[in-house]
Amino acid sequence: MGWGKWRSRVSCGHPTARSVLLAMLLILTSLFYCLSGYSESAGRRAPAPPGLPATPPPRLSGDGSFGARELPQAIIIGVKKGGTRALLEFLRVHPDVRAAGAETHFFDRFYERGLDWYRSLMPRTLEGQITMEKTPSYFVTREAPRHVYAMNRLTKLIVVVRDPVTRAISDYTQTRTKSPGLPSFQNLAFKNITTGLIDTSWSAVHIGIYAKHLDNWLRYFPLSRFLFVSGERLVADPAGEMGRVQDFLGLKRVVTDKHFYFNQTKGFPCLKKPEGSSRPRCLGKSKGRTHPRIPPDALLRLREFYRPFNLKFYQMTGLNFGWD
């Protein structure tokens, strides 16, 4: 058929030509709506196909990673050899907790490096998750509370405490492992063994004067910003203490007794085998060391030394830890 005849048919309204044009118009219209992602009937974006998320993925940071690095909202500030590592590992089980791996020592050693440096040490978190870190030496560092307050006066502070005598022996045991030639515990704890004069300058003894250290922190933070965790109860009833910790942090009680079992060899609780793992999670070999035998009279004098400080600590916190 020549062009002249075809033009004549179109212009004259030939039925075949009109049908072809109408079909082409319908095809082009459908193609437009499909490509633009709108449904033909409602004018809305078409729902996601089955199996794909209906909402956008989590926000990406500048380098393409998920989440963002935030300054910690909660810090485990003490005490050394009190059970801080166990507490942090138990908290890591919670899906809404993200914690720095190593102790940062920002508020006691590296404060001059600034908050941007501190933030860079934190893990990435998503909306609804909290960021944490632990550095037990903060509790006994004079400048630490002022530094933490300058960062955020609403920071939640967790202190894991333990019988100061047992804690001092554990501290000594750890140090002796690294320095085998260390003098005996009693030679370091007493200025004069005969008179029983305690050497409070020795760090293993000094850390256990909890009331003194807490008094320094209370100059900046009210008692309501603190949670005091019993190191003894963390061993005897980890689920119970973890319940208190989760409540304090505003978290749902996800970590419960179903997550723990007691390791008779180490003498403390371990986390049960996580899904997809070949073995349970226990703390490393450095935890659960056998303590050296200390002469009973040395222990008695040390307990007498700590008793008034313990009683004051009980009064300050409103908690009786039963160390006496």
Could you tell me which residues are annotated as the binding site?
81-85, 162, 170, 287-291
Binding-site positions for 3'-phosphoadenylyl sulfate: 81-85, 162, 170, 287-291
User: 207: number of CA atoms within 13 Å, CB side?
Assistant: 26
Cis status, amide bond into 254, omega within 30 of 0: no
Contact 188, 197 (CB under 8 A): no
C-alpha to C-alpha distance for 255 and 106, rounded to whole angstroms: 29
CA 317 to centroid of chain Cα atoms: 23
Strands (E), 138-290: 156-161, 190-192, 197-198, 226-230, 260-263, 268-271
Catalytic residue list contains 81: yes
Angle among Cα 119, 125, 75 to the nearest 5 degrees reads: 55
Torsion, Cα of 198, 199, 203, 208 (10° steps): 20
C-alpha to C-alpha distance for 149 and 153, rounded to whole angstroms: 4
Catalytic, out of 81, 156, 191, 273: 81
List the catalytic residues. Answer: 81
